[in-house]
Amino acid sequence: MKRFAERLSRIQPSATVAISTKARQLAAEGKDILSFSMGEPDFDTPEHIKKGAAQAIVDGATRYTAATGTPELKKAICDAAERRRGVKWTPAECAVSVGAKHVLFNLALCLFEKGDEVVIPAPYWVSYPEQVSLAGAEPVIVETTEESGFKVLPEQLKAALTPATKAVVLCSPSNPTGSAYTEAELRALADVLAEHECWIIVDEIYGELVYEGFDQKSLATVAPELRDRLLVVDGVSKTYAMTGWRIGWLLAPAEVIAACNKLQGQSTTNPTAVAQEAARYAVAETQDCVAEMRGAFEKRRDRIVEGLNAIEGVSCRKPEGAFYAFANVQGLLGKADGDRTITTDLDLCDYLLDTVGVALVPGSAFGAPGYVRISYAASTEQIDEGLRRLGQAAAKLA
């Protein structure tokens, strides 16, 4: 008997989860580990959201809902999306799923099949290519450079598009680099996409987390002419420190929503009823909690970027958003501590975890060898201690 389906062999386990698990294991064994590997805010879900959810349980939010979300939540999401992006969507153009990852998974299964190509700029979020592969399609990775701010250039995008291109995936601000496209950059990409009939998936899950007044724009706002092919992915995980609630959504043409509804109706059915109620409190008009978290993230970003650039062999571009620093560690590669030679970013991450108890994610996991991702969703004390340890490890490598 063939015990497992062939499709399982097409995907890799999540590298970010793997390193976090190793870090947790070492910590459980009593080692002093500082983990900068997780992609989640260290804040707790704001109090008013938790209280609203607790009341919702009392009030009976305990049953199945419509497969892709309650009408009340969909309306609240559309209202919030209009306030943020100045674009109107109707509840028929909104589907709520079990996190943005599930939204993307639904899209992969509904849209992609064998023979399709999906263009993904690197560095990319780990799940994009895996989900495309699982659906039987081909991820086409377009490498960007640090010089372009890890952003795909219009001419690169144009060169990657073929008659087989079924979709392009853009993420801004980006996980893992924190880079965000300016309005002009989005406009230039939109001009290329206007010439090629394919779906455009824009992952805007970090859209609210931009700093120093960066003018974050949605492709939906910048290029309304692409609307009938534009699939906007968003959710509560990052903006509201709600990773465990598992609510994400898609804003897209009604035919795509109907397809996701069909698939979700035969898989998870609805996202948890009480989590949907919590999300309704999150996206409501008052957004003070987001401003507070944004302020804290900005200070940490500045601290970590400055600290990283002070370490010999390490350099780091100042990211516009999200909560990741993506540091160039090529200056440390090829060096050694005794008989332990550090050849790749993977070696370096292993070495840092073993010797100074610092968990980072190797850039190779995101299609960018020679870099490491450092999540600064950590306290300033942890950041300072982490930087101290990194400096110590870097100094030991000769």
Ligand X SMILES: Cc1ncc(COP(=O)(O)O)c(C=O)c1O
Interface residues toward ligand X, by CB under 6 A = 39, 99-101, 125, 171, 175, 203, 205, 235, 237, 243, 248
Question: Least distance to ligand X from the beta carbon of 217, Å?
Answer: 17
What residues contact residue 389 under an 8 Å CB cut-off, 6+ apart?
Answer: 34, 352, 356, 357, 358
Judged by DSSP in three states, 249 sits in strand
User: In Å, how far are 78, 199, 224 from 87, measured between CA atoms?
Assistant: 9, 19, 9
User: In Å, how far are 306, 308, 390 from 311, measured between CA atoms?
Assistant: 9, 5, 8
Closer to ligand X by Cβ: residue 235 or 367: 235
Closer to ligand X by Cβ: residue 165 or 375: 375
Give Cα 388 distance to the centre of its chain.
27
DSSP class of residue 45? P
Burial of 389 from C-beta contacts in 10 A (0-12 / 13-18 / 19+): middle
Backbone angles phi, psi at 223, to 5 degrees: -130, 70
Asked if 331 and 348 touch (Cβ cutoff 8 Å), the reply is: no
Question: Least distance to ligand X from the beta carbon of 375, Å?
Answer: 10
Asked if 264 and 106 touch (Cβ cutoff 8 Å), the reply is: yes
Q: Which two tokens stand for residue 303?
A: 């601290």
Closer to ligand X by Cβ: residue 99 or 362: 99
Question: Least distance to ligand X from the beta carbon of 103, Å?
Answer: 8
Question: Least distance to ligand X from the beta carbon of 384, Å?
Answer: 25
Closer to ligand X by Cβ: residue 161 or 322: 322
Question: Distance between CA atoms of 316 and 374, rounded to whole angstroms?
Answer: 10
Asked if 120 and 143 touch (Cβ cutoff 8 Å), the reply is: no
Residue in 347, 318, 335, 338 with CA at minimum distance from that of residue 394? 335
Tell me the residue nearest to ligand X as measured from the CB: 99
Question: Distance between CA atoms of 146 and 226, rounded to whole angstroms?
Answer: 28
Closer to ligand X by Cβ: residue 243 or 268: 243
Question: Least distance to ligand X from the beta carbon of 271, Å?
Answer: 10
Closer to ligand X by Cβ: residue 273 or 279: 279
Closer to ligand X by Cβ: residue 117 or 203: 203
Question: Least distance to ligand X from the beta carbon of 328, Å?
Answer: 21
Question: Least distance to ligand X from the beta carbon of 397, Å?
Answer: 30
Closer to ligand X by Cβ: residue 175 or 311: 175
Question: Least distance to ligand X from the beta carbon of 114, Å?
Answer: 25
